[in-house]
Amino acid sequence: MLVEVRDEAGNMVNDASGGERLHEVSMVVNGVHRSAAVPARRLLSDFLRHDLGLTGTHVGCEHGVCGACTVLLGGRPIRACLQFAVMHDGAEITTVEGCARQDGELGTVQQAFRDCHGLQCGFCTPGFVTTITAYLEENPSPTEEEAREAIAGNLCRCTGYQNIVASVLRAAELRATEPRTMEPRTSEPGTTVLRAAGEAEVSP
Amino acid sequence: MTTRSLGEPIARREDPRLLTGQGRYVDDIGHDALEVAFVRSPHAHARIVDIDVMGALDVDGLVAIYTYEDLQGRMAEPLPVLIPHPALTHGRTPCALADGEVNHVGEPVVMVVATDRYVAEDACDRIVVQYEALPPVVGIEAARAGELLVHDDVPGNVSAHMVQEAGDAASAIADAPNVLELDLEIERSASTPLEGKGVHARWDPDDQSLRVYTSTQASTSVRAAVAAKLELPVDRVEVIAPDVGGGFGVKIVHPWPEEILVPMAAIRLGREVKWTEDRREHFVSSAHERGQLQHVRVGFDDDGRLRGLDVTVWHDNGAYTPYGIIVPIITTTQLLGPYKPGAYRAEFFSLYTNTLIVTPYRGAGRPQGCFAMERTMDAIAAHLGLDRVTVRERNLIRPDEMPYDQGLVFQDGRPLIYDSGDYPATMEKLKKLVGWEEFEEYRATARAEGRRVGIGVACYVEGTGVGPYEGGFVKVETDGTVVVATGLTTQGQGHQTVFAQVVADELGVPVERVVVTTGDTRRFGYAVGTFASRAAVMSGNAVALAARKVREKALRVAGEALEADPRDLEIDDGEVRVKGIPGLSVPLSTVAVLSNPLRYAFDDEAKRATQFASPADPDKTPVADGEEPGLEGTGYYSPPRSTFANGMHAAIVETDPDTAEISILRYCVVHDCGTLINPRIVEGQIHGGVAQGVGGALYERMVYDDAGQLVNASFMDFLMPYSTEVPTIEADHLQTPSPLNPLGIKGAGEAGVIPGAAVLASAIEDAEGIRIRRMPISPSELHHLREATAE
Amino acid sequence: MKPSGFTYYRPETVEEALGVLAEVGPDGKVIAGGQSLVPMMNMRLAAPGCLVDINRVSGLDFARVDGVRGAAGDGHAVVRVGATARHADVERNAAIRAAVPLLGQALTHVAHPTIRNRGTSVGSLVHADPAGELTAVLALLGGSVELRSVRGTRTVGADDFFVDLLESCVEPDELATAAMFPASDGHTGSAWVEVARRNGDYAVCGVGALVTVDDDMRITDARTAYVSVGPRPVVLDASGVVGDVTLDNADWGATGRWAAGQLEPGEDIHATAEYRRHLAGVLTQRALRAAAGRAAGHRTGGSSGGNGTTGETAAARDHAGRGEG
């Protein structure tokens, strides 16, 4: 039974909102004020990826187990697939894009992954990078066993985790030698005043 | 001198992009695309009585709904049987949308296109499909009984029955002084890449062309399939595998229904259309593997040497056979491992069940074969009271017996001839690495502490690099960049690095200057795909051959410029130099300019190649006879047959005497995949494979209930290991180059997973003194085995 | 796996939240951490018409120890956890860990740290998943939950709070504002042990134990609580089985076997009922022994608290992992 919904001119009908009430949601993402109007049910993961265009945050299961969508909320890792964007209006979020250095070079954890071959397909990697970035803030010099525990809530199907464990230890090492310049980015160059939540939108 | 790159553990070229969130996976493409969701069968076996879409029509944002009735022409025909085989007498495939009957939970019935996925799912919820339930066939035993049928016209549920024999196994076993029989079982698991499948299609009505991005392991073949199904000229279709978030086999199957339905919708609607498979869909509508029952009959002498081996396999192929019978063929041929079986007979029945299709998952039938052979080796050792390694050593093929013909036909239709390998040396290395000789001492110490430990060993041989061919294209740009393209795809194996290493060395340029593209039909049109541990062997050699052509041409062109004999030239660090004369050289970038005589100067480099730039010999054509413009070359590698990698694993486990929990204390790997292009990447492949082996042995299974419902279709209950479940892997390797290909490479992608179930079964059996005949095993199952043994 | 649409409410005071809940009735659902609710919504197993987000409700994010011994009159301290306090807030609170060590011991087994960063302790109680560690902790400690609605406030003890599988006694118009976990007296040791298929998974079986001794090291109280052995958390009073003995003379093995006989666990894809019962017996013994050890530590001034895991596996891995071969 063919159904193709067209208007009188024969064009495809495209009601982007799906008729739902939209909520204006503003966040400071990687130090930049971002905002978009979305339905209440828009998951934070989809908001970041599709409304803000930050596709570095990946979606692997949408039931909170795999950890690919892990982002930092006020510095703490959370699963973006288990949150509605509207709940975090006004929040400060860091994604994998924000874990790079201000000059665009690899951040500490990212560099460690490269040094240790801590990634293969790269799909789970953003969740590991954010998780480890937060973890090292709390425990800057983990043992190997602690490093393994630290990543125990994220699934990877490629690496067998061994090189990710090594990456955690390597990141701790890099962090210890370059603590200042390697910190995760909290503000974008050129961004001076952040708008308060609810003010005029900055288009994504 | 340029540092030699081949064999070096250099960091990957693709990493900076992937690490900073700049990767491009299918769902990252097509921001404004319409999105697709499917109504899928909730029944394992049913007839479709009616589909009522009326309720969905008032969903705001709905764009289109398609059912089987809306499929036209070849779209309405069943999907192809990709790998036909004479033994596959009853191959069956579904249509892209169910045509009247569904044969497994998750089979697509209705396709919905909407403004976004949320809305598409809303519409799906409101579509009412009436089914008339049919009795489902679930499990190999039910399929084998044949009382209920999956397909009415397939008697006994048998899609294929095949026998291969080398020698007279029956009499060899009958004449043997010892005979054992084993019944074995291995359960279903699945590739389960972190990224599910996904398809994005864009139709350009002005250009009458289609561009498809799909998360596939075989973009060229998807292109051919899409063109065939949609009845488009192939050159109007381009298919690109962008960054792919893991494959492990499941993405080699094609065309998936979605891979032709999404382009169909894009053409009909004149809009970009995208489908991103979610995790629940992936569990019930992609593919599984592994499930087999096996019966082994083995005859052997009093030293444990095999006289004859007779194996019967009942293979669960699920509801359809789009990928043919590759998996059971591999099981029954690769089962032999590094051993001489005496006479061998293998028979398999490939059986339909009302469950998800079974197609290759990393290892592709080998883990099951390895399990059968290695359980048999342990059983022989136990029967004779011999050391388990000793029995294996007595049966190993020796290096001086290479090449060794097992007398069977392999999965590529070619003879099963092992090309090279030193199995006894591999075993020696493994024994040292794990401390095989010292284990009894350790066991005694542990026992004194009230701890129960065991050690296991398992060996495999893996046919890698199956044909028919791969190709490579290498071009030196006028800025000195070397662009490389090969048609096979990448799912995280580091091809952008390893192929660059190969070309850099062949051409004499720094690896940083080489840029590799894979899996993009716009860049390279002829390819087979990434599966069967073949990428490094096939495309590695193909790009090497292409680079050699470019090198030869560069030497010819530079010879003209330098007025030197090409035989006196060498290329190093991107410069063609006259050997022994410092300073007399020309950069490859200039050679590239010279190799393409131009009329028009579009930039400074080009200016040097135009007609008045320098005096030319008026008697010569601008493009020399027999030459073509451009410093580029294409090469193809087509192997005579597979090359055989090998390896051996050992594991030490501890079982909790009270809770029956199983912990892996050590996991050791010795492997030989010939020449290593990048040892770090190979090691990463081993690690990942072992983790999947551990998963398949102790955690992962697909649990169907009697109604054919997959009851653990989530990451909550399908237990993929976390970091805390995977042991630290200790690895060592040998390098026995393959004599079959120019670089001496053997494949490495699947190796790690193959002996997982076998080695852990061996170790648990050793710890417990209880026969392990079925994997995976959970603490609950081990507890019950203990209870049964105690009775 | 995208949720159905809903109307979103974001009250900022308790009163406002109660008003909304009263208005939307059974169609409404409270969201705090969302770690159990959102997966169900993504799978469309739950599709509430109205979602009441209480994360901005002021005054609910507390996690503290009230009524320090002697000061509150009843001689017992109580840990009070507000509706928006995260598991991580409770787990990391040193005063709470000191007052009710069992909370910290159990919380380290609740999923993974990232989930605990967002998931709320009160939310997991209301969710009433009998595999959720906190249900058994509340039951074992004899804790309670404070429920408020426009109709009033009531405090419900654990016994009455958990009704059935995934069902607590919270009425649609009620908001669970806080949970109370009373501290045991100073002569009590506690432990949490569990076996899960993977680290961080719901337990196949999990056991919490409390053992109290008097000044002469005689056991005055021994109780256990279980997750994943039935539709509700189960508490067993083993005092009578252990008998009036000193710690040294306790037969924890027999107690474990007794406990196993008291339970009626079910079967799922990860474990048979029989294995679960067996496991409950083994873990009862381990939990009681560990708790008793800590009770003795209290009496002799040794260290208390700490992690409740048995730790054998990790120790064993260490043992064999080094220098072998």
Q: How confident is the model at residue C68 (pLDDT cuts 50, 70, 90)?
A: low
The mean pLDDT value for C156-182 works out to 97
Closest CA to A82 of A65, A100, A101: A65
| Gap from B141 CA to chain A (nearest CA, Å) | 31
Q: Kindly list the distances between the CA atom of residue A12 and the CA atoms of B56, B62, B123, B273, C41, in Å, as whole numbers in the listed order.
A: 17, 10, 17, 12, 30
Residues A59 and A43: their CA atoms lie apart, in Å, by 11
CB B36 within 8 A of CB B523: no
Residues B565 and B601: their CA atoms lie apart, in Å, by 30
Residues A27 and A196: their CA atoms lie apart, in Å, by 9
Residue A9 touches chain B, beta carbons under 8 Å = no
Residues B341 and B309: their CA atoms lie apart, in Å, by 6
Closest CA to A41 of C18, C46, B273, B32: C46
**How many cross-chain Cβ pairs, A to B, lie less than 8 Å apart?**
230
Residues in C touching B727 (Cβ below 8 Å): 317
Closest CA to C55 of C36, C81, C82, C89: C82
**Residue B280: partners with Cβ closer than 8 Å, 6 or more residues away:** B713, B714, C1, C43
Report CA Rg, chain B. 28
Residues in A touching B683 (Cβ below 8 Å): 117
Domain spans in chain B, listed from the N-terminal domain onward? 32-134+191-285, 367-463+642-790, 467-637
Q: Class of C8-53 per CATH?
A: alpha beta
Give C185's DSSP letter.
Answer: P
CB B612 within 8 A of CB B601: no
In the predicted structure, residue A200 carries a pLDDT above the cut 60: no
Residues B634 and B539: their CA atoms lie apart, in Å, by 12
C63-182 maps to CATH 3.30.465.10: yes
Give C243's DSSP letter.
Answer: -
> Are A63 and C117 a contacting pair at CB < 8 A?
no
Using H for helix, E for strand and C for coil, what is the string for B508-555? Answer: CCCHHHEEEEECECCCCCCCCCCCCCCHHHHHHHHHHHHHHHHHHHHH
Residues B165 and B341: their CA atoms lie apart, in Å, by 11
Tell me if the bond preceding C182 is cis, omega within 30° of 0. no
For residue range A66-97, list pLDDT tens digits in order. 999 999 999 999 999 999 999 999 999 999 99
The vertex-A110 CA angle with B531 and A31, nearest 5°, equals 125
Three-class SS state of C78: strand
Report ipTM for this prediction: 0.96
For chain C, give me the number of helices (H) and strands (E)? Answer: 13, 14
DSSP code per residue over B736-755: ---TTSTT-B---TTGGGTT
Residues in A touching C4 (Cβ below 8 Å): 41
> Are B121 and C44 a contacting pair at CB < 8 A?
yes
Composition of chain C by helix, strand, coil, percent to 5: 35, 25, 35
In the predicted structure, residue C72 carries a pLDDT above the cut 50: no
CB atoms closer than 10 angstroms to residue C160: 11
CB atoms closer than 10 angstroms to residue A196: 9
Res A179: pLDDT: 56
Tell me if the bond preceding B403 is cis, omega within 30° of 0. yes
Residues A69 and A61: their CA atoms lie apart, in Å, by 9
Q: How confident is the model at residue C76 (pLDDT cuts 50, 70, 90)?
A: confident
Closest CA to B272 of B200, B205, B216: B200
Q: Kindly list the distances between the CA atom of residue B48 and the CA atoms of B43, B133, B450, B736, B770, in Å, as whole numbers in the listed order.
A: 10, 9, 60, 57, 48
CATH level 2 (architecture), domain B367-463+642-790: 2-Layer Sandwich (3.30)
Residue A70 touches chain C, beta carbons under 8 Å = yes
For residue range C258-305, list pLDDT tens digits in order. 999 999 999 999 999 999 999 999 999 999 999 999 998 876 654 444
Residues B500 and C130: their CA atoms lie apart, in Å, by 55
Q: Kindly list the distances between the CA atom of residue B356 and the CA atoms of B160, B320, B369, in Å, as whole numbers in the listed order.
A: 18, 8, 22
> Are A157 and B246 a contacting pair at CB < 8 A?
yes
CATH level 2 (architecture), domain B467-637: 2-Layer Sandwich (3.30)
Q: In CATH, which superfamily holds the domain spanning B32-134+191-285?
A: Aldehyde oxidase/xanthine dehydrogenase, a/b hammerhead (3.90.1170.50)
In the predicted structure, residue A186 carries a pLDDT above the cut 50: no
> Are B269 and A157 a contacting pair at CB < 8 A?
no
- Would you identify the CATH topology of the domain A108-177? DNA polymerase; domain 1 (1.10.150)
For chain B, give me the number of helices (H) and strands (E)? Answer: 19, 29
Residues in B touching C253 (Cβ below 8 Å): none
**Residue B108: partners with Cβ closer than 8 Å, 6 or more residues away:** B38, B39, B40, B41, B96, B97, B98, B257, B258, B261, B285
Residues in C touching A64 (Cβ below 8 Å): 35, 38-39, 115
Which tokens in the block code for residue C265?
Answer: 């666990």
Axis crossing angle, helix B679-694 with helix B756-768, rounded to the nearest 10: 50
CB C280 within 8 A of CB C260: yes
In the predicted structure, residue C307 carries a pLDDT above the cut 50: no
Three-class SS state of B386: coil
Which tokens in the block code for residue A135?
Answer: 């973890």
Residues in C touching A153 (Cβ below 8 Å): 111-115, 200
Backbone CA torsion sign across C311, C314, C320, C322 = negative
Three-class SS state of B111: strand
Closest CA to C54 of C34, C70, C25, C73: C34
CB C196 within 8 A of CB C296: no
- Would you identify the CATH topology of the domain A22-99? Ubiquitin-like (UB roll) (3.10.20)
Candidate from A23, A76, A81 with C-beta closest to C8: A23
Pick out chain B residues at pLDDT < 50: none
Residue C159 touches chain B, beta carbons under 8 Å = no
In the predicted structure, residue A184 carries a pLDDT above the cut 60: no
Closest CA to B196 of B130, B285, B116: B285
C188-310 maps to CATH 3.60.21.10: no
Residues B763 and A61: their CA atoms lie apart, in Å, by 33
> Are B70 and A2 a contacting pair at CB < 8 A?
yes
Res C184: pLDDT: 87
Res C299: pLDDT: 65
Domain spans in chain A, listed from the N-terminal domain onward? 22-99, 108-177
Is B467-637 the same fold as B367-463+642-790? Answer: yes
Residues in C touching A146 (Cβ below 8 Å): none
Q: Where does CATH 3.30.465.10 sit in chain C?
A: 63-182
Residue A20 touches chain C, beta carbons under 8 Å = yes
Closest CA to A68 of A48, A88, A53, A84: A48
User: Mutate which of B15, B19, B39, B717 to disrupt the A interface (most A C-beta within 10 Å)?
Assistant: B19
User: Mutate which of C38, C43, C61, C84 to disrupt the A interface (most A C-beta within 10 Å)?
Assistant: C38
Q: Where does CATH 3.30.390.50 sit in chain C?
A: 188-310
Res B603: pLDDT: 85
